[in-house]
Amino acid sequence: MRNSVILAVLLIVCFYATDRIVAMILSSAEEKIFTGHRVGKVNYFFNVKDSMDILIFGSSRAVHHVDPKTFDRPTFNMGMGATHLGYAAALIATLGKKKQIVMVQIDYKTMFSPTYSGKDAIELLYKASKNNAINHFFDVNFPEEKRLSKLSRSYVYNGRVFGVIKNYMLHAEEVRINNGYEPLIPDERQKQIFKGMLAQTETKTLEIFEPIKINERYKQFIYDIKEVAAKNNNLLVFFTSPSLVKIDNRLIEMTTNFLEKEGLEYLNHTEIVNGEDPELWKDHTHLSKKGATIYSKKLASSLNVIIDKTNKEVN
């Protein structure tokens, strides 16, 4: 019995020590990465966010659709694939620059999903120990994840170990070059496949869950973002980016009414790019580089209209 207890204690001590050592090594490496699509891009964002006049947040339909070079002032695209509003809300919580323009891409599918939990934000848990705003975000929204991260420090790097090591060793340059924008350039084979899909299939329609209502966690993230923007006297603009998937008018109307009631600017750009030209699309929900160039100009123009209107209201 005594030997079993000693063995158990030794195993716990070994686990604790190994966990702390691994976490320390990964943390040290992570802090030095400023390239790549995940950890490096977040670090790069923290370095440049206060020098930017415009910041863009969202999912793959932000990072692949909006070219910062189109705007007439310093802009960084902090869109990230495979994330939703929770991830954006956690990053927006760290903003402190006054009178910045914050543009947030929202998605009807997630906004009206009955199952969206916001756990895409957990990808940023490794930053909680290094940033007070993100630490508070997790204390409020995901306290159970904070408890796990205290039990196992290396837990926060779950799913990111290979990326940290690879970018630490290779030091790629893609984020630096494009200010966060990642254009999609389909090859000829992909173009032909997509043309065939458009010709053979009916218009895709977004699935609707009854009763139709905005997800409560999603709604809370919008409130949180609004609060940060108000504190910093930022111009906050929500937008939906182009898609070939047909959206039920009830979703559009509910979104418009909700954001209008909250006094928030909203641009419904779902159908602003020509859906008849396959050259402008990578797939049904993502623009090609050619399509993104067209859309970015339209988005910049719409933003300028909002800026002019806001300036007139202030004066």
- If one counts the domains in the chain, the total is 1
Helix segments in 93-244, DSSP class H? 108-111, 132-141, 143-151, 161-170, 174-178, 188-200, 216-232
b or e along 198-237 (b: 16 or more beta carbons within 10 Å of the residue's beta carbon)?
Answer: beeeeeeebeeeeeeeebebbebbbebbbebbeebebbbb
| Radius of gyration (C-alpha) of the chain in whole angstroms | 22
> What integer pLDDT is reported at residue 8 of this predicted model?
77
The tens-digit pLDDT sequence of the chain (315 residues) is: 677 878 777 887 788 888 888 889 888 889 888 877 788 899 999 999 999 999 999 999 999 999 999 999 999 999 999 999 999 999 999 999 999 999 999 999 999 999 999 999 999 999 999 999 999 999 999 999 999 998 898 988 888 777 787 777 776 554 454 699 999 999 999 999 998 888 877 788 999 999 999 999 999 999 999 999 999 999 999 999 999 999 999 999 999 999 999 999 999 999 999 887 889 999 999 999 999 999 999 999 999 999 999 998 876
> What integer pLDDT is reported at residue 175 of this predicted model?
45
> What integer pLDDT is reported at residue 178 of this predicted model?
67
Count of C-beta atoms within a 10 Å radius of residue 143: 10
> What integer pLDDT is reported at residue 233 of this predicted model?
98
For tokens 């760290």, name the residue: 94
CA-to-CA distance for 294 and 67, rounded, in angstroms? 10
Tokens at 145, concatenated: 């994840």
**Domain ranges, residue 162:** 2-314
CA-to-CA distance for 299 and 22, rounded, in angstroms? 44
pTM of the model: 0.94
